[in-house]
């Protein structure tokens, strides 16, 4: 791929990306970001609907010049994180406590680049919808867009996503045939007993002992009850109780997260978690209040769609290698909500040897933006070939 044949040229992509990077906005607050997306779409005479997904989402639509046909969706997330940036670059975040530490500035740029390229040369039949989705981080903007009627208003037979991937070399990609990212659940458990003088434990019910026993028992749910070939994580990340040397506290609060790739396993773990709580609370005579929240489902690629993505990536001159056997990540991704409703695939594009995602020293690699644009274009032309 020579620079002269690339549209938009890499310098324009870098300018867009660094502008987004300077002005990061977190979940559902992406007003400037959304306005800039719309501005670039307007400059290139691309049709769009703005104000989606709670207000800051945008869907651009491009029809091929070869008439009616199939319809697909390409999705980028546009939000930043509540992190203070550590990078000393001239385009560093201008907003304290806000940072594009997951590369969504790059994802937005690549999808905009694809929109401009496809609009200039719509050498396909049918329709491509380019989905600029807010609030990927923790807030589930993907779910909001789906519930709002994304797939009814913009019918598509498949939907595709991508994420830059630190640690994967520039020029490499990874495509999974099934699970790519794990589900993400959180829990809060409050155990209440009878507090008492620490010198007379027999007069109370010791919630600290009970909670310790429970935490131990929970480890068995993954190590003993989950089949060894399946993946699950149950992490107790908070344990709060007491504030005196000589008082056994009345309450203890535990919090944490559960992650799996399989919905049945997830349901089983939640049920066994409840069984363990009931047994512990019953044995120690405690009151248990358990709040278990399902946040994101697992992100599961359709093998057929994943194969198409891999084929397109393998044919790109800029991509040297497409991994088909990388382990999925126990991280999570709200593109899962779109894949629950519509088949498709989510691929990883190597970001090179950068800091990890969500690290204050992370930065999207501008060198890979043209690869992402080329991928979106090639995928569209391949899937919507006239």
Which residues in this chain contact Zn ion in the complex, by CB under 5 A?
102
CB of residue 303 vs Zn ion: minimum separation in angstroms? 23
CB of residue 167 vs Zn ion: minimum separation in angstroms? 14
For Zn ion, give the closer residue by CB, 102 or 112. Answer: 102
The Cα–Cα gap between 163 and 172 comes to 12
For Zn ion, give the closer residue by CB, 16 or 165. Answer: 165
For Zn ion, give the closer residue by CB, 54 or 331. Answer: 331
CB of residue 348 vs Zn ion: minimum separation in angstroms? 11
For Zn ion, give the closer residue by CB, 107 or 308. Answer: 107
Q: Dig out the tokens for 316 from the structure.
A: 């790109």
CB of residue 103 vs Zn ion: minimum separation in angstroms? 6
The Cα–Cα gap between 285 and 279 comes to 10
Q: Dig out the tokens for 118 from the structure.
A: 């496809």
CB of residue 164 vs Zn ion: minimum separation in angstroms? 8
Q: What angle separates helix 104-120 from helix 369-383, to the nearest 10 degrees? A: 50
- Of all residues in the shown chain, the one whose CB is closest to Zn ion is 102
Classify each residue of 223-237 as buried b or exposed e, where b means 16 or more C-beta atoms within 10 Å of its C-beta.
eeebeeeebbebebe
Burial class (CB in 10 A: 0-12, 13-18, 19+), 11: exposed
For Zn ion, give the closer residue by CB, 76 or 319. Answer: 76
For Zn ion, give the closer residue by CB, 29 or 206. Answer: 29
Residues ≥6 apart with Cβ < 8 Å to 109: 13, 16, 17, 20, 369, 372
For Zn ion, give the closer residue by CB, 103 or 256. Answer: 103
CB of residue 77 vs Zn ion: minimum separation in angstroms? 6
CB of residue 107 vs Zn ion: minimum separation in angstroms? 7
Residues ≥6 apart with Cβ < 8 Å to 268: 225
Measured CA distances, 223 to 187, 218, 220, 235 (Å):
19, 9, 5, 12
CB of residue 357 vs Zn ion: minimum separation in angstroms? 5
List, as one string, the DSSP characters of 176-210.
-SSEEE--EEEEEEEEE---EETT-GGGS--HHHH
The Cα–Cα gap between 137 and 364 comes to 16
Q: Dig out the tokens for 101 from the structure.
A: 């530490």
Residues ≥6 apart with Cβ < 8 Å to 79: 25, 26, 27, 28, 30, 33, 104, 134, 135, 136, 137, 139, 141
For Zn ion, give the closer residue by CB, 174 or 210. Answer: 174
């Amino acid at each position: 791929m020579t620079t002269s044949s690339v549209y938009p040229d890499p310098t324009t992509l870098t300018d867009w990306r660094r502008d987004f990077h300077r002005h990061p906005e977190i979940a559902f607050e992406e007003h400037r970001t959304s306005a800039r997306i719309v501005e670039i779409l307007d400059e290139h005479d691309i049709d769009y609907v703005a104000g989606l997904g709670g207000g800051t989402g945008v869907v651009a639509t491009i029809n091929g010049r070869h008439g009616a046909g199939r319809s697909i969706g390409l999705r980028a997330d546009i939000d930043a994180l509540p992190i203070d940036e550590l990078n000393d670059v001239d385009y560093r975040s201008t907003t304290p406590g806000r940072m594009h530490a997951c590369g969504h500035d790059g994802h937005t740029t690549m999808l905009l680049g694809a929109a401009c390229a496809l609009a200039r040369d719509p050498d396909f039949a049918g329709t491509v919808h380019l989905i600029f989705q807010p609030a990927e981080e923790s807030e589930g903007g993907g779910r909001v867009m789906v519930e709002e009627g994304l797939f009814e208003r913009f019918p598509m037979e498949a939907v595709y996503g991508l994420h830059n991937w630190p640690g994967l070399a520039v020029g490499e990609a990874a495509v999974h045939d099934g699970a790519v990212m794990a589900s993400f659940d959180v829990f809060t458990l409050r155990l209440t007993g009878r507090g008492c003088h620490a010198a007379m434990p027999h007069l109370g019910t010791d919630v600290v002992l009970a909670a310790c026993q429970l935490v131990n028992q929970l480890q068995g749910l993954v190590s003993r009850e989950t089949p060894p070939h399946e993946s699950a994580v149950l992490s107790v990340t908070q344990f709060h109780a007491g504030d005196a040397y000589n008082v056994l506290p009345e309450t203890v609060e535990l919090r944490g997260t559960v992650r799996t790739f399989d919905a049945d396993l997830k349901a089983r773990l939640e049920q066994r978690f409840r069984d363990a709580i009931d047994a512990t609370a019953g044995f120690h005579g405690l009151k248990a209040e358990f709040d278990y929240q399902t946040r994101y489902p697992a992100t599961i690629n359709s093998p057929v769609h994943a194969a198409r993505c891999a084929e397109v990536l393998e044919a790109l001159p800029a991509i040297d290698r497409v991994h088909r056997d990388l382990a999925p990540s126990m991280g999570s991704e709200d593109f899962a909500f779109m894949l629950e409703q519509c088949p498709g695939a989510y691929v990883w594009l190597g970001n090179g040897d950068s800091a990890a995602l969500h690290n204050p020293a992370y930065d999207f690699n501008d060198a890979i933006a043209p690869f992402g644009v080329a991928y979106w274009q090639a995928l569209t032309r391949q899937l919507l070939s006239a």
